[in-house]
């Protein structure tokens, strides 16, 4: 019976985990590209990304967005990273010697396009 | 005995299906991070333009700066060393290879142009000065078999376009 349960649930849990990881990466890239135009991560952009992540089931206190709020002018670098709490799967990740991380993480670094 | 054999075969099939699923998901994640990083790196390279030419109304890339910034951005976004090999914590599993880095600007092209690279099977209409890049990494492999997988190859065009919004 436990084997049958693993066979039924594992593909779905794995797929869900992959989709959430993909969502965090996609939103980080979106935030980075938008921040390049604005010269920084604006509160509006930050809220937009939080709303996107909340829409797929994360709560706001599980999301950490790190960035420097100072405006970067054209040619200066903007660094952004997003860490989101990862709900550990029911079943172990057996494919490498590494353990499954406790968070979804993505970062981006882009040159600002902003002209004052 | 009959039950044990059937159960063993079922578990074996399940394990292969599981590994196959993980490999495909890993392929997609690898492709996504490579595409995102290449987009950003090409964008950064496209900002390296010659100010003198710009003051005369032309967009001409500073090739040395563009190449340097492109590699620097790839390294920062994918956590790579100077030879574009992944270092600890990198989201990619193999070396990144830059197959094409082409700068099309007002000094060497007339727009629009139809860009083609037959060796990479890449073609696209380009309407303004652009950085054209193709990068690739190895296909992630969880199941070792005699089948060879095509590498994960990503094309990127970072292009200046005329602002048509009035």
Residue B90 contacts A where some CB pair is shorter than 8 Å: no
- The C-alpha atoms of residue B42 and residue B101 are separated, in whole angstroms, by 9
Nearest CB to A110; choose among B11, B29, B40: B40
CB contact under 8 A, A108 and B28: no
- The C-alpha atoms of residue B93 and residue B96 are separated, in whole angstroms, by 9
ipTM score: 0.88
Nearest CB to A109; choose among B22, B33, B73: B73
pLDDT in tens, A45-103: 999 999 999 999 999 999 999 999 999 999 999 999 999 998 866 556 665 666 677 89
- The C-alpha atoms of residue B134 and residue B120 are separated, in whole angstroms, by 8
pLDDT tens series, chain B, 166 aa: 788 999 899 889 988 888 889 899 999 999 999 999 999 999 999 999 999 999 999 999 999 999 999 999 999 999 999 999 999 889 999 999 999 999 999 999 998 899 999 999 889 999 999 999 999 999 988 877 777 888 999 999 999 988 776 6
Beta-carbon contacts of residue B125 (< 8 Å; ≥ 6 apart)? B112, B113, B114, B115
Length of chain A: 116
Structural element, H or E, at residue B46 = helix B2-46
Cα B117 to its chain centre, rounded Å, is 16
- The C-alpha atoms of residue B145 and residue A10 are separated, in whole angstroms, by 23
- Indicate the domain borders of chain B: 2-159
């Amino acid at each position: 019976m436990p084997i049958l349960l693993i066979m039924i649930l594992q593909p779905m849990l794995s797929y869900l985990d992959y989709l959430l990881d993909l969502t965090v990466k996609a939103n980080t890239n979106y935030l980075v590209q938008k921040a390049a135009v604005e010269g920084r991560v604006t509160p509006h952009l930050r809220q937009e990304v939080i709303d996107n992540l909340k829409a797929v089931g994360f709560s706001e206190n599980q999301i950490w967005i790190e960035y420097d709020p100072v405006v970067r002018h054209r040619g200066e670098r903007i660094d952004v990273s997003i860490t989101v709490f990862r709900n550990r799967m029911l079943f172990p990740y057996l494919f490498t010697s590494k353990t499954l991380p406790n968070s979804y993480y993505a970062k981006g670094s882009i040159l600002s396009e902003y002209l004052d | 005995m009959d039950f044990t054999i059937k159960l063993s075969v079922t578990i074996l099939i399940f394990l292969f299906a599981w590994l196959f699923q993980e490999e495909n998901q890993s392929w997609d994640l690898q492709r996504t991070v490579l595409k995102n990083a290449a987009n950003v790196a090409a964008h950064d390279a496209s900002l390296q333009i010659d100010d003198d030419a710009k003051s005369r109304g032309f967009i001409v890339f500073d090739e040395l700066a563009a190449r340097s910034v492109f590699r620097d951005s790839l390294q920062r976004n994918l956590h790579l060393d100077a030879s574009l090999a992944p270092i600890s914590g990198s989201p990619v599993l193999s070396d990144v290879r830059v197959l094409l880095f082409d700068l099309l600007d007002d000094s060497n092209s007339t727009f629009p142009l139809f860009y083609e690279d037959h060796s990479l099977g890449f073609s696209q209409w380009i309407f303004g000065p652009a950085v054209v890049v193709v990068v690739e990494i190895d296909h992630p492999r969880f199941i070792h078999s005699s089948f060879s997988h095509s590498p994960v190859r990503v094309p990127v065009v970072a292009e200046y376009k005329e602002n048509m919004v009035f």
